[in-house]
Amino acid sequence: MGTTPRSPGEARKVFRILVTVFGCCLLAATVATIVSLFFVNDFISNSTHVDGEVVGLERGAKGSLAPVVRFKTANGEILQLQSFLSTSPALKVGDGVKVVYRTANPRDWQIDDWIHLYFWTLMGSIFMLAWAIATTVTQLVGASLIRKLERVSDTRSQ
């Protein structure tokens, strides 16, 4: 596979394999994005919305800051939990935030903003776009190379 295909048939075979691999990756990223959207929508529909306050910032492994948020549940329990996501610009201690938590399990929570709720959906969408581009470029390059090899083959046979 390290050499350039010498005939249109070889080129078609190589690019068929590449397009299949890239297409499978595109399909996987698309499914992951749809599943992520389903879980976010399920989370939001089975959750309670309350106000919270940033009471601290925890430094991550790469120096990023994840907010520690305190909020009071509907049944009066006060929770202080760290977000799984560090954002830039970082929230500051004392900032008020909206919190959404699963009604049946208040420890299953998120800061109620777009990036915290849809982070994994966004990641799936980025991978989906990357694989779509890779698949398209591979098909275009493959078609171009196959046409070039066919022209060379035609001139040799004459």
Structure confidence at residue 2 (pLDDT): 56
Length of the chain: 158
- Whole-number pLDDT of residue 33: 86
**Cβ–Cβ contacts within 10 Å for residue 93, how many?**
11
| Whole-angstrom distance, CA of residue 131 vs CA of residue 139 | 12
d(CA 17, CA 127): 20
Q: What is the pLDDT of residue 158?
A: 65
**Residues of the chain predicted below pLDDT 50:** 1
Q: What's the pTM value of the predicted model, to 2 decimals?
A: 0.66
Domain ranges of the chain: 8-151
Q: State residue 4's pLDDT score.
A: 64
Cβ contact 139:19 at 8 Å: yes
- Give the residue among 31, 50, 24, 5 at the shortest CA–CA distance from 142: 5
Q: How many other CB atoms are there within 10 angstroms of residue 126's CB atom?
A: 12
